[in-house]
Amino acid sequence: MRYNDRTKKKVEGWTMTKTVYHNILVPVDGSKEAEAAFHKAIEVALQNGESTHLQILHVIDTRSFQNVTDFQTTMVDQVSQTAKETLEAYVKEAQAAGVKNVAYKIEYGSPKALIATEAPKEFEADLIMIGATGLNAIERLLIGSVTEYVTRAAKVDTLIVRA
């Protein structure tokens, strides 16, 4: 696994550390919080140099389809197609901003597990940049947020971006 680089610099009696990230994972779900995280991830990727990889991830929560009585694969196909179009637009935007190494992936399953543990391992991420939760206080209490789970379970640096 490739780890981030830390460089130290002495500034007026202080030793400052700059971390360089090589593989940034940014999960998106269509929310304004996720879009803010995506834009911040572009900034961080550009600050970390041309060799930085930006991986955009969208997780389709298949559990949400389990309660549909007339479950059809066409529904999943439609959701997948919409996600693909959105992610392709994100890739073009990142490339237009100057990010050289950008890709996307669509996964199916539990967003919490995929974003916190599985995707970072697969992508060798050294940073996850995720939007702050869009849930209200009661929803957070009852079901918890993906963002909250990721901050607890991820083994790599995690940056929460507020919209």
Q: Residue 148: what pLDDT?
A: 87
Other CB atoms within 10 Å distance of the CB of residue 24:
28
The answer to the question of residue 132 being in a domain is yes
The answer to the question of residue 17 being in a domain is no
pTM strictly above 0.75: yes
Q: Residue 17: what pLDDT?
A: 73
The answer to the question of residue 115 being in a domain is yes
Other CB atoms within 10 Å distance of the CB of residue 25:
27
Does an H or E element contain 32, and which? helix 32-47
The answer to the question of residue 94 being in a domain is yes
Q: Residue 43: what pLDDT?
A: 97
Q: Residue 22: what pLDDT?
A: 96
The answer to the question of residue 99 being in a domain is yes
Provide the Cα torsion 48, 39, 160, 123; round to 10°. Answer: -60
Q: Residue 35: what pLDDT?
A: 95
Please, what are the averages of pLDDT over each run of 10 residues along the chain (163 residues)? 59 72 95 94 96 96 67 77 96 98 96 95 97 67 76 95 88
The answer to the question of residue 14 being in a domain is no
Q: Residue 27: what pLDDT?
A: 97
Q: Residue 77: what pLDDT?
A: 84
Q: Indicate the number of domains in the chain.
A: 1
Q: Residue 110 sits in a domain of what CATH number?
A: 3.40.50.620
Radius of gyration over every alpha carbon of the chain, rounded to an integer in angstroms: 17
Q: Residue 65: what pLDDT?
A: 67
The answer to the question of residue 93 being in a domain is yes
Cα–Cα distances (Å) from 144 to 7, 42, 83, 159, in that order, read: 36, 28, 24, 18
The answer to the question of residue 4 being in a domain is no
Other CB atoms within 10 Å distance of the CB of residue 54:
28
Q: Residue 133: what pLDDT?
A: 75
Q: Residue 119: what pLDDT?
A: 97
Residue 156 is part of which domain span? 23-161
Q: Residue 139: what pLDDT?
A: 56
